[in-house]
Amino acid sequence: MSRTTIADVAREAGVTKATVSHALSGNRPISEETRAKVLAAAEKLNWVPSQSARALATRRANAVAVVLARDPEVIANDSFFPAFIAGVESVLSETETALILQVVPDREAEERAYRALTHGRADGALLLDLRDDDWRVPFLDDLGLPTVLVGAYEQPTAFSCVRTDDAAPVREIIGHLRAAGHERIAHVSGPLDYVHSRARADAYIATMGDDALLREGDFTAASGRALTEELLALPQRPTAIVYSNDTMAIAGLSFARSQSLVIPDDLAISGFDDDHLSAHLSPALTSVSSDPAARGRAAARLLRADILGAHPRTEIVDCNVVHFRESTAAPSTASPTVSRRTP
């Protein structure tokens, strides 16, 4: 392992440890000459400062954390997460900051995880899957851990926040469906205590005027199927269903088909998240893409600023784009189109 330490480098360069340290950090003026000597020695000995020693001395871990309290199966089927992480990483790597990922089974484990992280493992955290009145927000505030909320958290908070407008695409889809003559438009939401599910459902209710055709799912294929079955069994069945993710939409589409309904003639369908395969389904699925990587980048930048002591702020990353495809096309419509950016 790391047998060579800063002392070896100092000896090799003929200076003291302090000089080596400063030559690398630039925290105090160093003559060009000695700096060169130090760098040469470091290079020669192939030395890299120990992160753990540095973390202890500076009280900074140079790492941020994402703790996920999700079922592994849900993680595996989520198209948002990997792209989000990729975005986060692209920013963190600029400053040699590591990303610590932790998946926990329950709340107790999650609290323990955050406590451990706070004490020397991470300098900040990214909070996903926000819920109304999320317990983690005051908890992390208490812990004093810099945190960025990803999602439209409504309660007052001192944390930075990356939001998107989830309502606009819902309004746009419903508008599109209505223009095509649809009146009985249903919505299959995600769990309504998630703020993003809630925002979409609220936009649906506001646009439709009531929640008679709203059904609460849980983002799994199973719930998409079950709720579609329920909706199609209504005396006045809906002619269109707006789903809160692609997985549920596909499951619903399959079920509707198994009942000999033709999509979109008998039933129009739209999803959310724009899974990379959705455009290739047949019929191609109308969905909302949301540039998770852009949101990851924004979140990472805000967190970095917060850790450095900046004032928390909210950034709106408006990247939701509705892709209208065959699953909502009127029978005559030929080629799929992409809408402009949602306003």
Catalog residues that contact a second copy under the rule CB under 8 A: 1-2, 46, 48-56, 59, 61, 63, 72, 75-79, 81-83, 85-87, 89-90, 93, 96, 98-105, 109, 115-116, 118-121, 144, 221, 246-247, 250-251, 253-254, 257, 275-278, 280-282, 292-293
The SS3 of residue 132 is coil
By the rule CB under 7 A, 31 interacts with DNA: yes
Stretch that binds DNA, among 21-29, 99-107, 108-116, 213-221 (CB under 7 A): 21-29
Which residues touch 293 (CB under 8 Å, ≥6 apart)? Answer: 83, 84, 86, 87, 90
**What is the C-alpha separation between 206 and 213, in angstroms, rounded?**
13
Stretch that binds DNA, among 26-34, 201-209, 247-255, 320-328 (CB under 7 A): 26-34
Instruction: Using DSSP bridges, classify how beta strands 321-324 and 287-289 pair: parallel, antiparallel or unpaired.
Output: antiparallel
Which residues touch 61 (CB under 8 Å, ≥6 apart)? Answer: 55, 120, 121, 122, 123
Tell me which of a second copy, DNA, none is bound by residue 102, counting a contact when its beta carbon lies within the kind-specific cut-off of 5 to 8 angstroms.
a second copy
Please tell me what DSSP assigns to residue 138.
Answer: H
Stretch that binds DNA, among 28-36, 104-112, 126-134, 327-335 (CB under 7 A): 28-36
Do residues 140 and 147 lie in contact, with contact meaning Cβ atoms separated by under 8 Å? yes
* Pick 26 or 331: Cβ nearer DNA: 26
User: Nearest distance from residue 2's CB to a second copy, in Å?
Assistant: 4
Distances in Å between the Cα of 120 and the Cα atoms of 114, 123, 161 are 11, 8, 24
User: Nearest distance from residue 44's CB to DNA, in Å?
Assistant: 15
By the rule CB under 7 A, 21 interacts with DNA: yes
By the rule CB under 7 A, 309 interacts with DNA: no
Which residues touch 227 (CB under 8 Å, ≥6 apart)? Answer: 188, 215, 217, 248, 252
By the rule CB under 7 A, 115 interacts with DNA: no
By the rule CB under 7 A, 235 interacts with DNA: no
Query: What mask of x and - would describe binding to DNA in positions 35 to 64, judged by CB under 7 A?
Result: x-----------x-xx--xx-xxxx-----
By the rule CB under 7 A, 97 interacts with DNA: no
* Pick 212 or 262: Cβ nearer a second copy: 262
In one-letter notation, the amino acid at residue 134 is: D
In 3-state terms the chain splits into helix, strand, coil percentages (rounded to 5) of 45, 15, 40
2 φ/ψ angles, rounded to the nearest 5 degrees: -70, 75
Distance of CA 262 to the CA centre of its chain: 34
User: Nearest distance from residue 238's CB to DNA, in Å?
Assistant: 58
By the rule CB under 7 A, 121 interacts with DNA: no
C-beta neighbour count of 175 within 10 angstroms? 12
Tell me which of DNA, a second copy, none is bound by residue 16, counting a contact when its beta carbon lies within the kind-specific cut-off of 5 to 8 angstroms.
DNA
Tell me which of DNA, a second copy, none is bound by residue 220, counting a contact when its beta carbon lies within the kind-specific cut-off of 5 to 8 angstroms.
none
Stretch that binds DNA, among 14-22, 145-153, 177-185, 239-247 (CB under 7 A): 14-22
Picking from 34, 32, 40, the residue whose alpha carbon sits closest to that of residue 19 is 34
The site for DNA (CB under 7 A) is made up of 2-3, 5-7, 14-22, 24-25, 27-31, 33-35, 47, 49-50, 53-54, 56-59, 119
